[in-house]
Amino acid sequence: MHQLHTADYIVIAIYFIAVSLYGYYIFKKKKSKTTDSKDFFLAEGSLAWWAIGASIIASNISAEHFIGMSGSGFAIGIAISSYEWTAGIALILVAVFILPGYIKNKIFTMPQFLSVRYDNRVSTVMAVFWLLVYVFVNLTSIIYLGALAISSISDLSFGWSIALLSFCSIIVTLGGMKVIGYTDVVQVIVLIIGGLITTYLALTLLADKLGYHGDVLKTLGVLRKEAPEHFHLILKKTDQYYPELPGISVLVGGMLVNNLAYFGCNQYIVQRTLGADLDTARKGILFSAFLKLLIPVIAVLPGITMYILHKKGLFASEMLDATTGTIKPDHAYPTLMNLLPTGLKGVAFAALTAAVVASLAGKANSISTIFSMDIYKKFINKSASETKLVRTGRYVVIVCMLIAALIAPALKSLDQAYQFIQEYVGFFSPGVLAIFLLGMFWKKTTSAAALTAAITTIPFSAILKFLPNWTNGSFPDIPFLNRMLITFFFTIILMVIVSLCNPKSKNNINPIIVEKAYFRVSNSFIICSILILGILVALYTVFW
């Protein structure tokens, strides 16, 4: 029943009109007397801590979570939650140790950090890498998954769903970071409420199937009994999905590298904090860490519930790929959304669309920021005015969204899109983290070392991935999270060797000033951090 009814359309219309009016209000209220690039790209000094935290989550949580992570929950189970729960650890580390280096040194883009610390060669190479990854992996996959869900629960075709998401995202992004940041608060509220409603429906369906007559609490108590193999956060080597989530690596290995790179060196995440003072930015990051604890409840739990329902004989045809006839885990969440009653389906539709649009807008804004400030102003038009920079940024938003929309249909062959995103971003992120950490905390790191790392990271990651095929199995397969850890340490060692072998190649290096005083945090920050870590210890103790 892929159809929305009148009540659904009314709910969706109310939502979009409300968000549009609120966004316009923010745009007019906070509009600068002059068109300023830092104001447009960073919302300099205008985002409150709760807006920063909500915007980080809105940019981070998208169709890849609702659809992709739910699909992985169906296939793998609660282990996929490690991406979200261990992110809390990474966010705390970023807030304490990495963020001060950016804010105290007035860093506004990640390529700017590289330019200040190293040189324009390193900055430009990494800027190009970021633009390619953001457009061809991030934007493309989010549009694909969002369109997959929308076309599954509405009368819109896959193509028109792509067009709708792209258009809405462009409109939001053109308002600048202030509009994105404050409308993201509304988006997060809607996506959490809609996600909880969908989770509740899934548990209610399972309760009826188990004979509990809608008793959700009783159903929660027996979920682990119904699918024990889906309730292990640390997978054993004998598990078929171990290569995707290799045991303890999700706690102390490649997962930490992945999350630190994503939350500490990623323009469209860090960008939300760079226009604020350090205390406000830290509060915002801590707020986002708390919100991350909720994400598996609204993304993974529905997938596990659908797995149990499917195991009991329900939704056999809905979970099949129409072309291959095989089970398609990424169909779990759209199938569930189709079961929502009239009106609530509109809420779920609005929540999903909110997540997709907010994430696309955040990423498109970061793409335009990097291109305008680190490519266009440096190499194309060095004397560009503030107005010209903002206009260029808006053009870039439109172009990158069109490119991603045209490529998105090519991803239809994917089984678990969430794992695809993580693996291929993982070719790049270990080197990024190494370059940033050494650049911030080891003054002897040279530009030559950073450039060497930037150039070798992707080839080295590719060698580790494809070596088993090239050697006909003589070289064992390495799980991609372990490959990330190996690549990270390889890059660190390589940078240290290059720096020590040619210390005179420092050129015009300007060490980023990092003082011990920067790492001091408030008592409230310490208390909240301990609370988050305590919750994580409890979760991993119960579901080890």
Per run of 10 residues, the mean pLDDT along the chain (length 544 residues) is 74 77 67 51 62 80 74 87 91 92 84 86 86 84 81 80 84 63 69 80 83 77 84 88 84 88 84 81 92 88 86 72 69 77 77 75 80 84 79 86 88 64 78 92 89 90 82 77 91 94 63 80 92 94 89
The amino acid sitting at 103 is I
3-state secondary structure of 327: strand
Q: Which residues contact 353 (CB under 8 A, 6 or more apart)?
A: 12, 146, 150, 165, 168
d(CA 59, CA 269): 7
- Determine the length of the chain: 544
327 beta partners: 320
Domain residue ranges of the chain, discontinuous segments joined by + = 6-417+526-542, 426-513
Whole-model pTM: value is: 0.82
Tell me, what's the pLDDT at 216?
A: 80
Tokens 């999700």 found at:
250
User: Would you tell me the crossing angle of helices 344-370 and 49-60 to the nearest 10 degrees?
Assistant: 100
d(CA 348, CA 455): 43
Q: Which residues contact 363 (CB under 8 A, 6 or more apart)?
A: 59, 134, 138, 139, 142, 268
Q: Could you give the C-alpha distances from 68 to 72, 245, 449, 492, in angstroms and in order?
A: 6, 15, 37, 32
320 beta partners: 327
Q: Looking at 135-176, list the stretches that DSSP marks H as alpha helix, in order from N- to C-terminal side.
A: 140-153, 158-173
> What's the 3-state SS for 253-309?
CHHHHHHHHHHHCCHHHHCCCCCCCHHHHHHHHHHHHHHHCCHHHHHHHHHHHHHHH
Contact 275, 46 (CB under 8 A): yes
The amino acid sitting at 356 is V
Tell me, what's the pLDDT at 34?
A: 43
Contact 60, 269 (CB under 8 A): yes
Fold of 6-417+526-542: Sodium/glucose cotransporter (1.20.1730)
